[in-house]
Amino acid sequence: MRNYYARFVSFALFIIFASPIFAQETLIIDGVEVTRVIIAPPRSPIALIIKDGLYKDYKSSKFESKSYFAKQKLYYFYGSRHFEPLWLTNDASGKPELSKKALEILKVFENSASSGLNPNDYLSDAIDLNTIGSNPVDLAHFETAFSAATMQYASDIYGGRIKPRTVSVNLDYKPNKIDENDLFLKLASSNNPTKILFELEPKQREYVALKAALASHLLEKQEEVLIVPNGKILRVGETDARVPLLRERFNIILPNVGGDIYDEGLLAEVENFQSTAGLQVDGIIGPATIAAMNGNKNASKEDIIANMEIWRWMPRDLGDFHVFVNIPQYWLEVVKNDKVVHSTRVVVGKTKFKTVAFSDNIKHVVVNPYWNVPRSILNNEIAPKVFKNPSYLAASNMQLLSGSGVVDATKIDWSTANMNNYRVRQLPGPRNALGSVKFLFPNKHAIYLHDTPSKSLFSRSSRAFSHGCVRVKNPWEFAQALLQVEPKLRYASVKSQRVDGGKERWNNLSSPVPVHLTYFTIRIDDEGNIHSYSDIYGHNKRLKALLGI
């Protein structure tokens, strides 16, 4: 029996109320107003068990410890209701049955698949009255198990089932955490618990659209669709087993040459498709072209559920004015009042140097930036070149620094010197790796948005080439869009600071702009069209495995 008490409290300790809801009466004693807690006597066998267990556990805690006060408030809460359970009641014959609140919440559990959750996570045998009977101890256990299932559902729908960093350390989302104390208080006092639970679900437009897309998978019979699988990059003249499927995709009846050869007829259709899809028209069939070909046909139920999970990790409030970067899409948007006011292509980190997904605030626009070379790049890429040729730094418009001073790399004996004792930075100029401007949101990942002299990469369909930072195709157009709500900085004034080789100039935003680096392999536009993108880092595949789908 004592094990039951401990288990009961372990499930119910989340009821540490911010404000007490137990019964009170106010008395005047010697002219002083005092408040007395009223503990109502139990009126049923199950209530006696609940009272006995809570009281013993509360009194056995260290006096005035955090645990003591938590268990005290729990005891007071149930005491105000004669220690009667929240989720159980009795029918006319006295037989235990689910309360009206519990029946409503049970329906939420049963329908949770429509939100991309697993009903079996909540509908366990522990909350099945048919398997419990009428034993008071079993009924008391049911009470706590139902509360635990309710809180599990609330936590899952509000902040997600999976912790982002278990998928990858490069998913540094900060999932929304449920205020269990506040939620339980609302459920206990509400006549409409379903509404309270529904309010926990994300309200972002794309999440709602994904939920609707999931409903079509769950409720309608899906016709068989043609999916072109990923594979090696395919160029005209090469042979691949997917070629007949590609011809079927474009309704090509007869090939010009052999059946599995990527011929000129198919090339014309691929190039036409790439043009209409906004891809680089090169006739090369790679991951981006395959994902675009499959389109909404590639949006499987499992992919939709995984992307809904990521939306639950996202901040509930993205900001009335914010920057949204979607890594698999290689795309940046400036959003104002839910409308995209500017968009452009971006280059993201290669698979070896993945761009981290996280949210922050842009605080600085830096014109004519230095590039302070990250230690990993310095040690792995630049140091070997310096050891071979100490003049490499000067030829690359770079400086070697020791402390705060600049030193001459050609006067150092690199056979004995340690590069870890030095720093390297690249001077502002046309060859600077950051281009003419960078947009800073100081963070532990050392990731930011910036210009680049390597403009040719933006014409490619797959654009994972950086060391982790996000390169912006049209940085000054982006700067103009970013500064439109900034009261103290004028775009023309900031752009006038741009001088090749000029002095680094910092411009601090008086109102930091939220920036969200995201990882969505599915996006839904305002017209309801579903767009699928290649899972460039494998996060989507790993997330689906962890979700058990």
User: E strands within 368-427?
Assistant: 371-372, 398-402, 405-407, 423-426
Same domain? For 30 and 69 the reply is: yes
Lowest-confidence region among 65-69, 85-89, 300-304: 65-69
Could you tell me the CATH number of the domain that includes residue 319?
A: 2.40.440.10
pLDDT at 435 over 60: yes
At residue 6, the pLDDT reads 42
Same domain? For 323 and 400 the reply is: no
Same domain? For 420 and 438 the reply is: no
Same domain? For 510 and 522 the reply is: yes
Residue 207 lies in a domain: no
Residue 235 lies in a domain: no
| The domain boundary residue, chosen from 184, 201, 218 | 201
Spot the catalytic one: 82, 217, 364, 450.
450
539 is catalytic: no
Same domain? For 350 and 486 the reply is: yes
Lowest-confidence region among 30-34, 54-58, 288-292: 30-34
Residue 191 lies in a domain: yes
At residue 207, the pLDDT reads 94
* Selected residue with higher pLDDT from 68 and 108: 108
pLDDT in tens, 339-368: 999 999 999 999 999 999 999 999 999 999
- 207-216, 224-233, 304-313, 394-403, range with greatest mean pLDDT: 304-313
Lowest-confidence region among 68-82, 425-439, 531-545: 68-82
364 is catalytic: no
Same domain? For 353 and 471 the reply is: yes
Helix, coil or strand: residue 255? coil
Mean of the per-residue pLDDT values for the chain? Answer: 86
Residue 285 lies in a domain: no
Same domain? For 353 and 476 the reply is: yes
Same domain? For 437 and 531 the reply is: yes
At residue 529, the pLDDT reads 83
Into how many domains does the chain fold?
4
At residue 1, the pLDDT reads 38
Closest CA relative to residue 539, chosen from 248, 108, 173, 6 = 173
Residue 411 lies in a domain: yes
At residue 197, the pLDDT reads 95
Domain carrying residue 133: 88-201
Residue 486 lies in a domain: yes
Same domain? For 66 and 13 the reply is: yes
For residues 323-349, average pLDDT: 97
pLDDT in tens, 286-296: 877 887 777 64
Closest CA relative to residue 263, chosen from 252, 278, 276 = 252
Spot the catalytic one: 469, 516, 531, 539.
469
Q: How many CB atoms lie within 10 A of CB 532?
A: 24
User: E strands within 251-311?
Assistant: none
For residues 388-397, average pLDDT: 93
Give kind and range of the element (H or E) at residue 143.
helix 136-159
pLDDT band at 12 (very low <50, low <70, confident <90, very high): very low
For the entire predicted model, the pTM comes to 0.78
Same domain? For 375 and 365 the reply is: no
Same domain? For 435 and 520 the reply is: yes
At residue 183, the pLDDT reads 84
pLDDT at 497 over 50: yes
Residue 271 lies in a domain: no
| The domain boundary residue, chosen from 201, 223, 252 | 201
Helix, coil or strand: residue 497? coil
At residue 513, the pLDDT reads 98
At residue 384, the pLDDT reads 94
How much of the chain exceeds pLDDT 70, in percent? 88
pLDDT at 473 over 70: yes
Give CA–CA dist 350/93, Å, rounded. Answer: 68
- Buried b / exposed e over 345-355, threshold 16 CB at 10 Å, is bbbbbbeebbb
Closest CA relative to residue 496, chosen from 475, 472, 476, 471 = 476
| The domain boundary residue, chosen from 50, 79, 108 | 79
Residue 518 lies in a domain: yes
Number of residues written out for the chain: 549
